[in-house]
Chains A and B, each alone.
Chain A
Amino acid sequence: MSLATTIQLIVLLPLGSFLLLGIFGRKYLSSLSGMIGTTSLLVSAILSIQTAYQYFFLNTAGSFEKIIAWKMTWLTFSEGVSIDMGILVDPISVMMLVVVTVVSLMVHVYSLGYMKGDERFATYYSFLSLFTFSMLGLVIAVNIFQIYMFWELVGVSSFLLIGYYFEKPSAVAASKKAFIVTRFADLGFLIGILILGFEAKTLDFVTLIERLTTSNSPYLVSATTASFLGASALTWGLLLVFMGGAGKSAMFPLHIWLPDAMEGPTPVSALIHAATMVVAGVFLVARLFPIFSISCPGALEVVMWTGVISALFAALIACTQTDIKRVLAYSTMSQIGYMMFALGVSGYGNEAGLGFTASMFHLFTHAFFKALLFLGAGAVIHYIHSNEMKDMGGLRKSMPITHITFLIACLAIAGIPPFAGFFSKEEILTAAHHANPMVYYIALLTAGITAFYMFRLYYNIFWSKEAKTAHHDDDHHGEGTWSMKIPLLILSVGAIAAGFIPFGSFVSSDGHPLHIPFEISAAILPVIIAVSGIALATLFYKTENDRPDKLSASFQGIYKTAYHKFYIDEIYLFITKKIVFNLIAQPSAWVDKNIIDGSMNGLASLVVWKSNLIKSIQSGKVQDYALYFFLAAFGITALTIYLVN
C-alpha cells in the first residue's frame, strides 16, 4: 500500500465506524458496537505504527522531509489561496498518528469494561470514533484551514462526550462551558488564520512557512511592516493563532473549561482531555514553529511565559483539590504548560532546537503516563463510585494491578529515572536552562510541586486510611474486567519504556536528526527536587495524620486561594455577568427589543390600521363589487376622454 492509501485508511476507518455506529448502532448493533469501534481502531493503530516504521526507519535520506502524500483542492478563493484537504507527512504528524491511535485504542478497549451495560453504549463508541477521526484529520492537515475545520470537529466531539451524561446538570453545564470557552479562543484562531493568509497569500502550510520565514521575501516584509497597535501583522496573526491553541490546550487564562470537563466519562478524559485533544495547541504551535522561531521571537516569548505561568499555576491548584480527576486535570494543564514553554525557549535548527524536540518528546511520553493515570483513576472510580479522595484510601490490596500501574505513572510524571517522564522533563529543563534561567527555576519548582501533588493523590487513594471495602465484599465486581486491566498494563509499559527512545534522532525542529547528549550533572538537581517532593508527600499523606491540616491552616490565605482555583472562575463570572451582561448585553437587548423590534412592530401596526380603514369596502356582496367595477370603468373612460381631448 502506498503511503497515501495507508494514511487515508487510518483516518477513514474511525469515520466509517462513526457513521456505522451513529446510524445503526443503537437499534441493531448495540452489543457489537464496542467490538466494531475497537476493531477499526486496532487496524488504524497497526497501520499507524507501520507508517511510523516506514517513515522513520526505512528512510535513507538522512533527514526527515515534509511529504505531501495526497492533496485535493476543495475550495479556491483566488489564485493560490485555497482550502485543500490532504495528508502532510512529517515527523510530528507521524508521531501524533501513533499517539492518537494507540491511546485511542487503549481507551476503546478500556471502555469495553468501563462502559459495559450503559444504555447508550453504541452512541458512546460512535462519539469516540468521531473524535478519533477528527483528531487524526487535524494532525495530518496540509492546510491551515483544514486544521481549523478538524479543530472545530474535535471541539464538537469533546462537547458531545463531556455532556455524555446529559441527565446530570453539571455535565451539561461543563460541556457548554468547554464549548463556549474554546469557541471564544477559536475566534482568535480564525482571525489569526485570516491575517496570516492575507499576508502570505496562501493557506497551505508548506508554502506559508516558506514565505514567512525566507528573509526579504515580499510577503514577510509586508507582514512585518504593516502594524496595528504597536505590533506587526505577523505578530498579531501568530498571537491570535496561539490564542486558539491556548484555548484548546487549556493554557492560563483560558484553562477554566478543563477541570469542569472532567464531568465526562473517565476514559474520555483520558483520551481527549489528557492525551490528545488538549495537546492540539502544542501541536499547532509546533506546526507553525519555524514562523514563530525565525520571524517572530516576540510571539514565541508570549508562548513561553504562558506555558510557564500555566505550569506553575496549575501545579499549585492541583495540591489543594480533592476530586481525583480534577487533580489530574490540573496536572495535565501543568504538563502542557511544560510543553508550551519548551517550544517557547527553543530556537530553530540543530542544537538550538532542543526545546522543540523536548516538547514533542514530553507530548509523547505524557500521552502514555497521563492516559494511564486517568484510566487508573477510572478504575478506582469504577470501584469506589466516587471521585472524592475522602472516600478512598487503602486500596492497594484490593486493586493490585491498578495500584502498581498508577504508581508507575506517578513516578513517570514526577520525573524519577528511569521512567518516561524523567527523560522528557530532563530535556525540557536542559533547554530552559540554556535559554532562560528564570524559566528554568520556575520549572524546577513546578517539578517539585508536581511530584508532591501526584504522590498526595497516590497516597490518598492507595494508602492513608484503612480500606473501607466492607460493603464491596459480597457481590462486587472487584477491580474490573480484563478489558480494563490490559490497557493499564500496556500503557504502563509505555510509561516505563517510552523514555528510552532516542527522540532527537526522529523529531527535530528542522528535520535533521539531533543527537542529544545525556548530561548526568544536569539531571541531578531535578531528581533531588522530585524526590524531596515525594518525601514530603510521604510524610504528609502516607498514613492518616493531622499534618496536612496544620499546614493548610498555617498557610490559610494561600491554601484557600489555591483551593478556589485563584478565583479565576469568579473573575470570569464577574467580567461576563457584571460587565458584559450589564453594560453591553442589556443595552443591546434594549435596543433590539425597543428600536429594532419596535420599528418592525410599528410598521406592522401601521399596515393593520390602514387595512382596517379600507376593509369595509369588501362587503362580500356581488352587487357592490359590480358597482365598483362600473364606477371604475366609467372613471377610466372619463379619464381617457379627458386625456385624449
Chain B
Amino acid sequence: MSEIPLEHLLMLSTALFFIGAYGFLTRRNMIAMLMSLELMLNSVNINFIVFNKYLFPDTIEGLGFTIFIIAIAAAEAAVAIAIIINLYRNTKNIDAENADHLKH
C-alpha cells in the first residue's frame, strides 16, 4: 500500500485551518462560528498526528496531545453552547454582530 505523502496531509490540514478561520471571521451565526472553531481544532489535530507518524514514529506524544485537544474541544463546545443559549434567552438573537454590550 502506497503511503500518502506528508505534504498532502499538511496541505489538507492547512486548508482545513484556513477554511475554519475564514468561517470564524465571516459567519455571523454563533453556532456556525463554533463549528468553524472545531474545524480549526481538527486541523491542528491532523498536524499533530501527521508529524507524529511521519517524523517520530516511535513516540506517542502527538497522539496524547490530540486526545487532549479533543477533550478540551468537547468542554469548550459545552461552555460555548451554554453561553450561546443564555445569550439567546436574553436577546432572542445569536448574531455575533449584536453581542457588543461589553464595549462600554
Instruction: Name A residues whose Cβ lies closer than 8 Å to a Cβ of B.
Output: 618-623, 626-627, 630
Contacts and interface: CB of A to CB of B under 8 A. Distances in A.
Contact of A620 (B24, B25, B33, B103): B103
A627 B25 contact: yes
Interface stretch (B4-12, B59-67, B70-78, B94-102): B94-102
B21 interface: yes
A630 B99 contact: no
Interface in B76-104: 96-97, 99-104
Contacts of B99: 621-622
Contacts of A627: 25
A626 B28 CA distance: 13
A621 B25 CA distance: 11
Contact of B97 (A618, A621, A626, A630): A621
A294 B25 CA distance: 94
Nearest to B101: A620
Interface size class, chain B: 10 to 19
24 contacts: A618-B103, A619-B100, A619-B103, A620-B100, A620-B101, A620-B102, A620-B103, A620-B104, A621-B96, A621-B97, A621-B99, A621-B100, A622-B96, A622-B99, A623-B24, A623-B25, A623-B28, A623-B33, A623-B96, A626-B24, A626-B25, A627-B25, A630-B21, A630-B25
A615 to B, nearest CB: 10
Nearest to A618: B103
A622 B29 CA distance: 12
A75 to B, nearest CB: 53
Given A620-B100, A623-B25, 17 more contacts: A618-B103, A619-B100, A619-B103, A620-B101, A620-B103, A620-B104, A621-B96, A621-B97, A621-B99, A622-B96, A622-B99, A623-B24, A623-B28, A623-B33, A626-B25, A630-B21, A630-B25
A623 B99 CA distance: 10
A637 to B, nearest CB: 13
Nearest to B30: A622
B21 to A, nearest CB: 6
A626 to B, nearest CB: 6
A619 B104 CA distance: 9
Contacts of B24: 623, 626
Interface string B1-33: 000000000000000000001001100100001
B38 to A, nearest CB: 15
Nearest to A622: B96
Contacts of B21: 630
A629 to B, nearest CB: 10
Contacts of B97: 621
Contacts of A630: 21, 25
Nearest to B28: A623
A619 B97 CA distance: 10
A627 B27 CA distance: 13
A620 B96 CA distance: 10
Contacts of B28: 623
Contacts of B101: 620
Contacts of A623: 24-25, 28, 33, 96
Contacts of B100: 619-621
Contacts of A621: 96-97, 99-100
A271 B101 CA distance: 70
Contacts of A626: 24-25
A622 B101 CA distance: 11
A630 B97 CA distance: 18
A621 B27 CA distance: 13
